[in-house]
Structure 1
Amino acid sequence: MRLASARLVLLSTLLVTTTACTHLVTGSPTAGDAVTKGTVDPAFIQGTDGGPIDQLAATAITDVDSFWEETFPTTFGEPWQPLEGGIYSVDTSDPSAKPPPCTEKASDVEGNAFYCPSADAIAWDRAALLPVLKDRFGDAAVVIVLAHEMGHAVQNRMGITPEAERRDPARYPTILTEAMADCFAGSFIKWVNDGKSEHLDIGSDTLDSALGALITFRDPVGTSPDDQSAHGNAFDRVSAFQDGYQQGTKFCAAMTVQNRPFTQEAFTSADDRDRGGNLPFDEMLESITPDLNAYYKALVESAGGTWVQPGATATETEPDCSGDQGPVAFCPAEKSVEIEVKEDLPELHAEIGDYATGVLLASRYGLAAMSQVGVDVEGEAAATGALCLAGTYTREVFTRQQGFGLSPGDLDEAVRVLLTYDYAARDASGGSALDPGFKRVEVFRGGVLEGVESCGLG
Structure 2
Amino acid sequence: MKRWTILVSLALGLAGCAATVDGVAQPVDPTRVAGLEIADGPSGLKPGVLDAGLPVVGGDGGEIDRLAANAVADVQRYWREHLPATFEREFRPLATLVSYDSAGRDRVVCGAPTAGLVNAFYCAGPDVVAWDRGELLPSLNDSLGPAAVMAVLAHEIGHAVQFRLGLPAASPSIVKEQQADCYTGAYFRWVAEGRSPMFQVSTGRGLNEVLTALFRIRDSAGVAFDDDGAHGNAFDRVSAFQFGFTDGPARCAKIDEREIEGRSTQVGSGSAAENVRLDDRRALADLTTSLRQAFRLAATPPTLTTGAACGVTAEDALASYCSESNQINLDLDGLVRIGTPPRRGRQGGIGDFAAFAEVASRYTLAVQQEGGFRLDGPVAAQRTACLTGFWASTLVDGRALTLSPGDLDEAIAEMLTRNSLIAADVRGRTLPAGFARVAAFRDGFFSGTQETCGEKYRA
**TM-score scaled to structure 1, two decimals?**
0.85
Matched residue of 2:178: which SS?
helix
Over residues 52-88 of structure 1, what are the superposed CA-to-partner deviations in whole Å (9 max), with x where a residue is unaligned?
00110011000000000000012111211222x3111
The AA in structure 2 aligned to 1:95 is R
Offset of residue 155 of structure 1: 0.6
Matched residue of 1:307: which SS?
coil
Confirm or deny: 8 A CA contact 2:9 2:265 kept in the other structure: no
Confirm or deny: 8 A CA contact 1:267 1:408 kept in the other structure: yes
Offset of residue 128 of structure 1: 1.9
Residue aligning to 2:32: none
Confirm or deny: 8 A CA contact 1:33 1:138 kept in the other structure: no
Between the aligned partners of 1:364 and 1:225, the Cα distance in structure 2 is: 32
State yes or no: 1:309 paired with 2:301: yes
Gaps of 5+ in 1: 17-31, 166-171, 301-305
Residue aligning to 1:168: none
The AA in structure 1 aligned to 2:371 is V
Q: Which moved more, 1:399-408 or 1:61-70?
A: 399-408
Between the aligned partners of 2:300 and 2:119, the Cα distance in structure 1 is: 54
Residue aligning to 1:19: none
State yes or no: 1:52 paired with 2:63: yes
Offset of residue 226 of structure 1: 2.0
Offset of residue 245 of structure 1: 0.7
Residue aligning to 1:25: none
* More contact order relative to length (CA 8 Å, sep ≥ 6): 2
Instruction: Kindly report which structure 2 residues correspond to 1:285-300, keeping only aligned pairs within 5 A, or say none.
Output: 285-297=284-296, 300=297
Confirm or deny: 8 A CA contact 2:306 2:330 kept in the other structure: yes
Residue aligning to 2:187: 188
Offset of residue 333 of structure 1: 1.0
Offset of residue 335 of structure 1: 1.3
Over residues 310-339 of structure 1, what are the superposed CA-to-partner deviations in whole Å (9 max), with x where a residue is unaligned?
121123x5x124544811111111111111
Between the aligned partners of 1:127 and 1:42, the Cα distance in structure 2 is: 21
Between the aligned partners of 1:6 and 1:296, the Cα distance in structure 2 is: 20
The AA in structure 2 aligned to 1:134 is N
Matched residue of 2:45: which SS?
coil
Residue aligning to 1:443: 440
The AA in structure 1 aligned to 2:132 is D
The AA in structure 1 aligned to 2:103 is S
The AA in structure 1 aligned to 2:87 is F
> Of residues 281, 304, 320 in structure 2, which corresponds to 1:329?
320
State yes or no: 1:40 paired with 2:51: yes
Matched residue of 1:424: which SS?
coil
The AA in structure 2 aligned to 1:255 is I
Q: Equivalent pairs: percent with the same residue?
A: 36
Offset of residue 430 of structure 1: 3.4
Relative to structure 1, the CA distance from residue 265 to residue 33 in structure 2 (aligned partners, 3 Å threshold; closer, same or farther) is farther
Over residues 344-367 of structure 1, what are the superposed CA-to-partner deviations in whole Å (9 max), with x where a residue is unaligned?
221111111111012211211111
Gaps of 5+ in 2: 17-40, 341-348
Between the aligned partners of 1:230 and 1:35, the Cα distance in structure 2 is: 29
Confirm or deny: 8 A CA contact 1:43 1:50 kept in the other structure: no
Residue aligning to 1:93: 103
The AA in structure 2 aligned to 1:72 is L
Residue aligning to 2:415: 418
> Of residues 358, 363, 366 in structure 1, which corresponds to 2:364?
366
Over residues 409-451 of structure 1, what are the superposed CA-to-partner deviations in whole Å (9 max), with x where a residue is unaligned?
00000000011132222222334x3112222111111111234
Between the aligned partners of 2:88 and 2:120, the Cα distance in structure 1 is: 29
Offset of residue 282 of structure 1: 2.7
State yes or no: 1:212 paired with 2:212: yes
Q: How many residues align?
A: 414
Residue aligning to 1:262: 264
The AA in structure 1 aligned to 2:148 is A
Confirm or deny: 8 A CA contact 1:296 1:307 kept in the other structure: no
Relative to structure 1, the CA distance from residue 96 to residue 221 in structure 2 (aligned partners, 3 Å threshold; closer, same or farther) is closer
The AA in structure 2 aligned to 1:62 is A
Instruction: Kindly report which structure 2 residues correspond to 1:40-439, keeping only aligned pairs within 5 A, or say none.
Output: 40-83=51-94, 85-95=95-105, 97=107, 99-100=108-109, 102-107=110-115, 110-162=117-169, 165=170, 172-204=171-203, 205-260=205-260, 261-267=263-269, 273=271, 276-283=273-280, 284-297=283-296, 300=297, 306-315=298-307, 319-324=309-314, 326-342=317-333, 344-350=334-340, 351-397=349-395, 399-400=396-397, 404-420=401-417, 421-431=419-429, 433-439=430-436
Relative to structure 1, the CA distance from residue 320 to residue 125 in structure 2 (aligned partners, 3 Å threshold; closer, same or farther) is same
**TM-score scaled to structure 2, two decimals?**
0.84
Larger fraction in helix? 1
Confirm or deny: 8 A CA contact 1:33 1:139 kept in the other structure: no
Residue aligning to 1:22: none
Confirm or deny: 8 A CA contact 2:424 2:431 kept in the other structure: yes
Between the aligned partners of 2:118 and 2:13, the Cα distance in structure 1 is: 35
Between the aligned partners of 2:4 and 2:451, the Cα distance in structure 1 is: 29
